[in-house]
Amino acid sequence: MTQIRPSHVSGEFIALMALLMCMVALCIDAVLPALGPMAADLNVGASNNIQLVVSTVFAGMAVGQLIYGFLADAKGRKTSIYLGIAIFLCGTLVALWADTLEMMLLGRFLQGIGAAGPRTITLAIIRDQYKGDQMARVLSLVMTVFILSPVVAPLIGQGVMWLFGWREIFIFLLVLAVISGVWFWLRQPETLAVEDRVQFSVGETVKSLSSMLQARAAVYYVLALGFIFGAFIGFINSVQPVMQGIYQMGSMFPALFATLTVSFAGASYLNSRLVMRFGAQRLALMAALSVAGLSFIMLLLSWILQGVPPLWLLMIYLWCTLFFVGLQFGNLNAMAMEPFGRIAGVASAIIGNVSTMLAVVFGTVVGQLFNGTVLPLVTGFTLLALGAAFFIHKANSIQLVSASSR
């Protein structure tokens, strides 16, 4: 092993890794305030179709995770990052010049494929260079910035729109990608030695996939992750038409969105403490049932109020719901990955691909059902959280039986 292991943690390294990871959140959330003007300029017929601008990024990320999961182990970390940034730049240019919805969706899909590279490989770079407590410290610092990026992204998008227009948001993303790419090229060395690289093999991949399918508990956790992630994408698809369409929040939308993402970020932070007390299995199931229970109550109240509850009530509901959603992502990912230490790279790529593709389908359906009320959004949270709870329970039961038979 000849990986470079620095003796100390550089502030510049933290900033660079955080910037590369934040490209995903900025790409998705910075355009949310622009969906209305974008739909008008692109002559989008059905109003719900503009939500596909969000969904296609996630679909691209699902495809990209498979590409980079194999490429990074075979060709090195820097090659994978360069490819991701190059694809992201191409997608951003297509989106910038788009004059139809179809062209915009192509650009966004390419952005998703590209952004998956920096998002995925930065974790591998950190793992290459640090270990133990030092690695945990680096990851916590980088993830803190990453978690907070959805808070500021819509505010940045709104600010760019105020000063220029919605297309200039893509110029901002273009400049950001160029800066991060040049910075990475100049300052970050390769962290995977040539002798440690693993050549891609179709046979080994099929063998790895077969072993993953035999781990039934892990499969159920992946399905649960897809369901709860689908609820989250349904929220991302619906939040702009709900806030700006139903409640006429206009330029206040980014600030309201920021308050909701703070809840999600806070849950991710608290999970590291709560999981030590309750355990990942119990905590994930409790959180999924909490989302389902809160959403069912909110669904009844919304139905009584003809689908449009007071904004304060909706905000409290979303704040609480996103908190419990945030408790599930890390735990479900960890439990799905647990049996696959020997094939961690391939397993991570496949788990990310399958769960994200499921989530894109579910989240797109929720968004497309928007009808001028909050009922589709709340129904989506209710049903998808119940689905997640069902699969978590199935997985927990399998592991309980397995543990008792030892």
Mean pLDDT of 182-189: 93
Q: For the packed helices 375-404 and 344-368, what is the interaxial angle rounded to 10 degrees?
A: 150
Assess contact for 117 and 77: CB atoms under 8 A.
no
Predicted pLDDT at 133? 59
Least trusted range by pLDDT, from 119-128, 167-176, 300-309, 334-343: 334-343
How far out from the chain centre does Cα 142 lie?
15
Most confident of 27-31, 66-70, 189-193, 296-300: 296-300
Give the per-residue pLDDT at 9: 63
Is the Cα torsion angle 276, 281, 283, 284 positive or negative in sign?
A: positive
Residue 382 near residue 325 (C-beta atoms within 8 A): no
Give buried/exposed letters for 58-95 (b at 16+ CB in 10 A, else e): bbbbbebbbbbbbbbbeebbbbbbebbbebbbebbbbb
Angle between helix axes 101-129 and 11-29 (nearest 10 degrees) is 160
pLDDT of residue 2: 46
Q: How far apart are CA 371 and CA 378, in angstroms?
A: 12
| 89 alpha carbon, distance to own chain's centre | 20
| Domain spans in the chain, listed from the N-terminal domain onward | 10-191, 201-406
d(Cα 145, Cα 153) in Å, to the nearest integer?
12
On the question of a common fold for 10-191 and 201-406, the answer reads yes
The sign of the dihedral angle between the CA atoms of 125, 130, 134, 136 is positive
Contacts 24+ apart (CB under 8 A), 98-104: 98/42, 99/42, 100/42, 100/43, 101/42, 101/43, 101/44, 101/49, 101/50, 101/52, 104/38, 104/42, 104/53
The answer to whether the CB of 200 falls within 8 A of the CB of 75 is no
Per residue in 141-156, pLDDT tens?
776 677 778 888 999 9
Q: Does residue 319 have a pLDDT over 50?
A: yes
In this predicted structure, what is the pLDDT of residue 1?
A: 42
**What's the whole-number mean pLDDT along residues 116-136?**
77
**CATH architecture assigned to 10-191:** Up-down Bundle (1.20)
Query: What does the alpha-carbon distance between residue 393 and residue 10 come to, in Å, rounded to a whole number?
Result: 43
For residue range 56-106, list pLDDT tens digits in order: 999 999 899 888 877 887 788 899 899 999 999 999 999 999 999 999 999
pLDDT at 204: 63
Q: What is the dihedral sign for C-alpha 22, 27, 29, 30?
A: positive
Average the pLDDT over 3-21 and give the result: 75
CA torsion sign for 149, 154, 155, 156 is positive
- Percentage of the chain with pLDDT > 70? 89
| 22-31, 150-159, 210-219, 336-345: least confidently modelled range | 336-345
Q: What is the CATH number of domain 201-406?
A: 1.20.1250.20
Query: pLDDT-based confidence at 322, cuts 50/70/90?
Result: very high
Paired tokens of 99: 């004059």
Judged against a pLDDT cut of 60, whether residue 344 lies above it is answered with: no
Q: Which of 188-192, 198-202, 318-322 has the least mean pLDDT?
A: 198-202
Our CA dihedral for 294, 296, 302, 303, rounded to 10 degrees, sits at -170
Question: pLDDT at residue 284 above 60?
Answer: yes
347-405 confidence digits (pLDDT tens): 767 887 888 899 999 999 999 999 999 999 999 999 999 999 999 999 988 877 665 66
| Mean per-residue pLDDT, 13-36 | 90
Which tens digits make up the pLDDT trace of 206-221?
Answer: 776 676 777 788 889 9
**Is pLDDT larger for residue 328 or for residue 164?**
164
Average pLDDT, the chain: 86
Model confidence band, residue 227 (pLDDT cutoffs 50, 70, 90)? very high
Instruction: Choose the weakest-confidence range: 132-146, 162-176, 255-269.
Output: 132-146
